[in-house]
Chain A
Amino acid sequence: MANAGIGQAVRRREDFRFLTGTGTYTDDIDRPGQVYAHIVRSPHPHAQIRRIDTAAAERASGVLAVFTHDHLAADGVGGLPCGWLVKGKGDKPMVEPPHPVLATGVVRHIGDPVAIVIAATRVQAADAAELVKIDYQMLPVVTSTAEATRPDAPRLHTDAPRNLCYDWELGDKAAVDAAFARAAHTVTLDLVNNRLVANAMEPRAAIGEYDRATGTHTLYTTSQNPHVIRLLMGAFVLHIPEHKLRVVAPDVGGGFGSKIYHYAEEALVTWAAKKVGRPVKWTADRSESFVSDAQGRDHVTSCALALDKDGKFLALRVKTVANMGGYLSTFAPAIPTYLYATLLAGLYATPAIHCEVQAVFTNTVPVDAYRGAGRPEACYLLERLVEKSARQTGIDRAEIRRRNFIPRAAMPYQTPVALQYDSGDFVANMERALKVVDYAGFAARRADSARRGRLRGIGLSTYIEACGIAPSDVAGSLGARAGLYEVAEIRFHPTGSVTVFTGTHQHGQGHETTFAQLVSEKLGIPIENVEIAHGDTAQIPFGMGTYGSRSIAVGGSAIVKAIDKIVAKGKKIAAHILEVAERDIEFKDGKFQVAGTDKAMSMGEVAFAAYVPHNYPLKELEPGLDETAFYDPKNFTFPNGCHICEVEVDRETGVVDIARFIAIDDFGTVINPMIVEGQVHGGLVQGIGQALVENCVYDGASGQLLTGSYNDYCMPRADDVPSFQVETNESAPCTHNPLGVKGCGEAGTIGAGAAVMNAVVDALATVGVTEIDMPATPHNVWRALKNAKT
């Protein structure tokens, strides 16, 4: 236990199956009699469907059925629901256009599903899909975020004039305007937060199955939250009551947000399985993922910071246009509002903040949460703005932050944008990062780079995120259409081993190890005796899944609550058997001990007594040792930290090399430092990916996706990133959950982009470049250098 409890770098028990190809992913599952679906998707970004002719496809070899929207409509199948209602200025509800499972009348993005072909083999389904004849009438296209609201832009949805989903605001506009009026310095910045493709290693897949004998539907799917899918699909789309619908999310190969949402294909295979009387499997190929998985970011922002003469921040003003894509994905409206504007205080005591967000529809793949989800966008603009303020005022970049940080002593701290931070030592984290990077030595390193003909830059980024999503009452008041608690069941088996059922889902994060460490430590039983079960709604109680770095903070807290119940019951059992009063029993190191004596029962003995209750307080206590707890967080958690990046730029080619990257993170208590470090590394790579290489590009004129494969969409590779220097600071644990944990899944992605871009700008500023947008590809950097020269 000493070597497997909280704080120990226990090797991931998942590694064996993931690293040896013995995991069970959705596509690894084959059901008896299974047939295959191929989705016919729109090749056009915006077009009217004049006619669909499926006759030839239906006659093709091996085909069981071809379905279109009309078949779904005949069965009363609903549209895909949106899980969050955002109300804009004047309490005006967002425009929520229909999101049909299969397109009807109009297709609104490349990849919009139009028909489903079901055949005996995958190849037969694909062959027949080519025979589905769809007569499209092209419509004018808008893909650009900035141009979507122009009066002459083509409208996607009749009920959304100017393609506006909502026009929303947060904060005190009058206070901000007043502060700008008296500011000594005003710093402005226009920037683009580039659209990203999530690109989980495992493409999405789904198998629908219907058992005629019991009337039960089963869906195997690549989901981060099987219960949420069961709820949304059962209640809103297919109208299947929950007791007749089982959703299984087995091993899932990465999600990054893109596997939170309820997708058309899940409803299609579930519905079609009953229609054709056979299990129906669909597996996306990579090209399909590029046009059917929800994408990320895609903001266009103007922002400004007002400062007094000493560099103290007076007010922040932000105006953002956020691209929703062609339809509203499940949680899309919440991302550029409640997960974005609420984080704009960052680590700073800026007294007044006002943020306006216009969400717009365009002829692009829907956008939703992608690792960090709104928080990287907030951090990016704020930290770019702070660094620009330092340049403009001549105050050192670290010093200007020092002057504006919320001090540790001010916790809990109410920001002007709704959140109340509970903990954090922002100054300490930055000072540590400055020390690790040897900030004082930067000038010498820059000179050394210059001797090699290279431009060196340094960039800081500090970040804070709201994780541990979410207090249900708060979420509800902000428009969430669900609760956001988590659940855990601790089920002891008679001979003392335990299975823990969690409503969270692991898709590579290592929960099976981290949670087992936690249970092992708290119950004092060997880690080998703890199994973590998740992912099957038939097995686990109703929980909300994994996203927003919530699993340990909310799911872990639910486990602790359930453990507390187990221990409380165990004390009663032990007191009865040891013939002492309950108050005389103390639980320590896996033993129920009579205080001050050596009389004790082990956890295992108590469990055995509970299931074989021969000597047991049956009059007062039920047999068995199996407790469930729901945990609704009291507040968000606030992971935070400081990242510092140094880059070298090749002036001739524009190539940016990351020379150093330091991350000092406060995740509260760390359960498994090795897993946390891995999460940070992965997050940093994704943040660096957005900053330097990743970019989802649609052609403005044709609306075609120009980055529809890895030939053109650049995923960061190992040789694009340096060896990271990362540390955690556990000195300011979360104050409101039982473990003091804050969550670590998204942090790297949130802080990294700004650190990299600040370093790039710092390097280029020496030769006259003042601004550059992500991604700082060689081509973009070269262009910026060239333009600066002329």
Chain B
Amino acid sequence: MYDFNYRKATSADDAVKTVTSASEGKFMSGGMTLIPTLKQRLAKPSDVVDLATVPGLAGISVSGKMLVIGAMTRHAVVNGSADVKKAIPALAKLAGLIGDPQVRNRGTIGGSVANSDPAADYPAAVIGLGATIHTNKRTIAADSYFKGIFETALEAGELITKFEFPIPDRAGYMKFPNPASRYAVVGVFVAKTGGTVRVGVTGAGPCAFRVPEMEKALAANFAPAAVEAIKVSPNGLNSDIHASAEYRAHLVTVMAKRAVAEAAG
């Protein structure tokens, strides 16, 4: 780890100001990606701005047909929240599949979605539920948020403050974990709201994406059989020693089918 200035932010505005005025400022929410990166000397920020001290960024509430989760809400809190379990049980389940207990007690939804690791779990739910991302500047629709590998619509110094998840009629999340890291090789989040179905995929591509063909088929028939014959193209999917693009493409179909079964069950 290289030396850096550690800053405790007092408010969202203060955090943004500190990060933008530093020569190379970095927000830290849970630090579950940032700290290991620093320890391996793979990043050299001048200033790390800790968001843990900012009041009002964490918390869960239900407002009408919306589940609202503050950016600094820890995975363990989402996993254990009665509100989340009631409104979107698949989201509570997803949070419980991230990392290990230590990670879940530190890592946050805002940090995960801001980082947009291609193998992170939350992006599947953000896309699959059609969430709205609130920042200190604006709101961003899920469909226009994820741009590429570790690349999002966030601008420099832009800070996520909360997420609004529309509460679906049914939802399911199935994850195929990497045996080593337990990150998602493929994770599929399926949500049905009225006659609309969304399918959000993480792990398979450079960033989370939807599968319109599956969504259409499921809108007509929300059953595992509706997607089991739908193949995803391996073109452009991730490929590494753990899973080829072909295997990932295959797993998207399998996980989608199982997510639907979970949602339907």
What separation, in Å, do the CA atoms of A721 and B40 have in the docked complex? 31
Verify if A240 is at the interface (C-beta below 8 Å from B).
Answer: no
- Residues of A within 8 Å of B247, CB to CB, are 779, 782-783
In the complex, chain A residues 115-156 whose Cβ is within 8 Å of any chain B Cβ: 123, 126-127
A782 to chain B, nearest CB (A): 6
Q: Whose C-beta in chain B lies nearest to the C-beta of A777?
A: B179
Verify if B28 is at the interface (C-beta below 8 Å from A).
Answer: no
What separation, in Å, do the CA atoms of A640 and B58 have in the docked complex? 58
Please encode chain B, from 222 to 246, with 1 for each CB lying within 8 Å of some chain A CB and 0 for all others. Answer: 0000000000000000000111100
Verify if B191 is at the interface (C-beta below 8 Å from A).
Answer: no
Q: Whose C-beta in chain B lies nearest to the C-beta of A126?
A: B41
Specify which of A287, A706, A778 is in contact with B241 (CB 8 Å cutoff).
A706
Q: Pick the interface stretch among A312-320, A374-382, A575-583, A707-715.
A: A707-715
Verify if A697 is at the interface (C-beta below 8 Å from B).
Answer: yes
Task: Decide: B40 and A711 in contact? CB cutoff 8 A.
Answer: no
B18 to chain A, nearest CB (A): 24
Specify which of B176, B241, B250, B251 is in contact with A712 (CB 8 Å cutoff).
B241
Q: Whose C-beta in chain A lies nearest to the C-beta of B248?
A: A779
Task: Decide: A778 and B179 in contact? CB cutoff 8 A.
Answer: yes
Task: Decide: B181 and A712 in contact? CB cutoff 8 A.
Answer: yes
In the complex, chain B residues 26-48 whose Cβ is within 8 Å of any chain A Cβ: 40-41
Verify if A652 is at the interface (C-beta below 8 Å from B).
Answer: yes
Please encode chain A, from 711 to 725, with 1 for each CB lying within 8 Å of some chain B CB and 0 for all others. Answer: 111110000100000
In the complex, chain A residues 212-261 whose Cβ is within 8 Å of any chain B Cβ: none
What separation, in Å, do the CA atoms of A715 and B183 have in the docked complex? 14
Report, as a range, how many residues of chain B touch the other chain.
10 to 19
Verify if A653 is at the interface (C-beta below 8 Å from B).
Answer: yes
Verify if A434 is at the interface (C-beta below 8 Å from B).
Answer: no
- Residues of B within 8 Å of A697, CB to CB, are 241
Q: Whose C-beta in chain B lies nearest to the C-beta of A714?
A: B180
B102 to chain A, nearest CB (A): 14
In the complex, chain A residues 762-780 whose Cβ is within 8 Å of any chain B Cβ: 777-779
Known interface pairs A287-B40, A707-B241, A712-B242; A782-B250 also in contact (CB < 8 Å): yes
Known interface pairs A287-B40, A711-B181; A653-B176 also in contact (CB < 8 Å): yes
Verify if B16 is at the interface (C-beta below 8 Å from A).
Answer: no
A177 to chain B, nearest CB (A): 40
Verify if B254 is at the interface (C-beta below 8 Å from A).
Answer: yes
B101 to chain A, nearest CB (A): 13
What separation, in Å, do the CA atoms of A779 and B179 have in the docked complex? 10
- Residues of A within 8 Å of B241, CB to CB, are 697, 706-707, 712
- Residues of B within 8 Å of A711, CB to CB, are 180-181, 183
Verify if A160 is at the interface (C-beta below 8 Å from B).
Answer: no
What separation, in Å, do the CA atoms of A693 and B241 have in the docked complex? 12
Q: Whose C-beta in chain B lies nearest to the C-beta of A713?
A: B180
What separation, in Å, do the CA atoms of A127 and B40 have in the docked complex? 12
- Residues of A within 8 Å of B1, CB to CB, are 123
B28 to chain A, nearest CB (A): 20
Give the dominant DSSP class at B's interface.
loop
What separation, in Å, do the CA atoms of A697 and B240 have in the docked complex? 12
In the complex, chain A residues 637-666 whose Cβ is within 8 Å of any chain B Cβ: 652-653
B100 to chain A, nearest CB (A): 9
- Residues of A within 8 Å of B180, CB to CB, are 693, 707, 710-715
- Residues of B within 8 Å of A710, CB to CB, are 180-181
In the complex, chain A residues 708-755 whose Cβ is within 8 Å of any chain B Cβ: 710-715, 720
What separation, in Å, do the CA atoms of A706 and B242 have in the docked complex? 11
Q: Whose C-beta in chain B lies nearest to the C-beta of A695?
A: B241
Known interface pairs A653-B176, A653-B251; A779-B244 also in contact (CB < 8 Å): yes
B250 to chain A, nearest CB (A): 7
Task: Decide: B181 and A777 in contact? CB cutoff 8 A.
Answer: no
Task: Decide: B179 and A653 in contact? CB cutoff 8 A.
Answer: no
- Residues of B within 8 Å of A720, CB to CB, are 179
Query: Which of B176, B179, B244, B251 gathers most chain A CB within 10 Å?
Result: B179
Specify which of B41, B181, B254 is in contact with A653 (CB 8 Å cutoff).
B254
What separation, in Å, do the CA atoms of A653 and B255 have in the docked complex? 9
- Residues of A within 8 Å of B254, CB to CB, are 652-653
Please encode chain B, from 166 to 206, with 1 for each CB lying within 8 Å of some chain A CB and 0 for all others. Answer: 00000000001001110100000000000000000000000
Specify which of A123, A707, A714, A779 is in contact with B243 (CB 8 Å cutoff).
A779
What separation, in Å, do the CA atoms of A250 and B2 have in the docked complex? 31
- Residues of B within 8 Å of A693, CB to CB, are 179-180
Q: Whose C-beta in chain A lies nearest to the C-beta of B1?
A: A123
Known interface pairs A693-B180, A710-B181, A712-B180; A777-B251 also in contact (CB < 8 Å): no
- Residues of B within 8 Å of A653, CB to CB, are 176, 251, 254
A21 to chain B, nearest CB (A): 17
B39 to chain A, nearest CB (A): 8
Task: Decide: A714 and B251 in contact? CB cutoff 8 A.
Answer: no
Please encode chain A, from 656 to 688, with 1 for each CB lying within 8 Å of some chain B CB and 0 for all others. Answer: 000000000000000000000000000000000
Q: Whose C-beta in chain B lies nearest to the C-beta of A710?
A: B180
Please encode chain A, from 688 to 707, with 1 for each CB lying within 8 Å of some chain B CB and 0 for all others. Answer: 00000100010000000011
In the complex, chain B residues 130-173 whose Cβ is within 8 Å of any chain A Cβ: none
A784 to chain B, nearest CB (A): 12
Task: Decide: A779 and B181 in contact? CB cutoff 8 A.
Answer: no
What separation, in Å, do the CA atoms of A714 and B179 have in the docked complex? 6
B177 to chain A, nearest CB (A): 10
B228 to chain A, nearest CB (A): 9
B22 to chain A, nearest CB (A): 21
What separation, in Å, do the CA atoms of A712 and B240 have in the docked complex? 10
A670 to chain B, nearest CB (A): 34
What separation, in Å, do the CA atoms of A126 and B180 have in the docked complex? 28
A161 to chain B, nearest CB (A): 32
What separation, in Å, do the CA atoms of A287 and B36 have in the docked complex? 12
What separation, in Å, do the CA atoms of A441 and B1 have in the docked complex? 57
A400 to chain B, nearest CB (A): 33
A775 to chain B, nearest CB (A): 9
B204 to chain A, nearest CB (A): 14
- Residues of B within 8 Å of A127, CB to CB, are 2
Specify which of A123, A287, A779 is in contact with B242 (CB 8 Å cutoff).
A779
- Residues of A within 8 Å of B242, CB to CB, are 712, 777, 779
B158 to chain A, nearest CB (A): 28
Q: Whose C-beta in chain A lies nearest to the C-beta of B182?
A: A717
- Residues of A within 8 Å of B40, CB to CB, are 287
- Residues of B within 8 Å of A707, CB to CB, are 180, 241
What separation, in Å, do the CA atoms of A410 and B254 have in the docked complex? 55
Query: Which of A123, A777, A779 gathers most chain B CB within 10 Å?
Result: A779
What separation, in Å, do the CA atoms of A714 and B240 have in the docked complex? 14
- Residues of A within 8 Å of B179, CB to CB, are 693, 714, 720, 777-778
A305 to chain B, nearest CB (A): 32
Please encode chain A, from 246 to 290, with 1 for each CB lying within 8 Å of some chain B CB and 0 for all others. Answer: 000000000000000000000000000000000000000001000
What separation, in Å, do the CA atoms of A707 and B178 have in the docked complex? 13
Q: Whose C-beta in chain B lies nearest to the C-beta of A650?
A: B254
Query: Which of A126, A693, A720, A782 gathers most chain B CB within 10 Å?
Result: A782
What separation, in Å, do the CA atoms of A169 and B130 have in the docked complex? 66
In the complex, chain B residues 76-122 whose Cβ is within 8 Å of any chain A Cβ: none
- Residues of A within 8 Å of B244, CB to CB, are 779, 783
What separation, in Å, do the CA atoms of A713 and B241 have in the docked complex? 10
Question: Considering the complex of A and B, which 7 residue pairs feature the smallest CB-CB distances, nearest first?
Answer: A714-B180, A711-B181, A714-B179, A652-B254, A693-B179, A779-B243, A779-B247
| A-B residue pairs in contact (CB < 8 Å), sample of 19 | A123-B1, A127-B2, A652-B254, A653-B254, A693-B179, A697-B241, A707-B180, A707-B241, A711-B180, A711-B183, A712-B180, A712-B181, A777-B179, A778-B176, A778-B179, A779-B243, A779-B244, A779-B247, A783-B247
Query: 14 other contacts beyond A127-B2, A712-B180, A713-B180, with CB at 8 A cut-off?
Result: A123-B1, A653-B176, A697-B241, A711-B181, A712-B241, A712-B242, A714-B179, A715-B180, A720-B179, A778-B179, A779-B243, A779-B244, A782-B247, A783-B244
Which A residues have a C-beta under 8 Å from some C-beta of B? 123, 126-127, 287, 652-653, 693, 697, 706-707, 710-715, 720, 777-779, 782-783
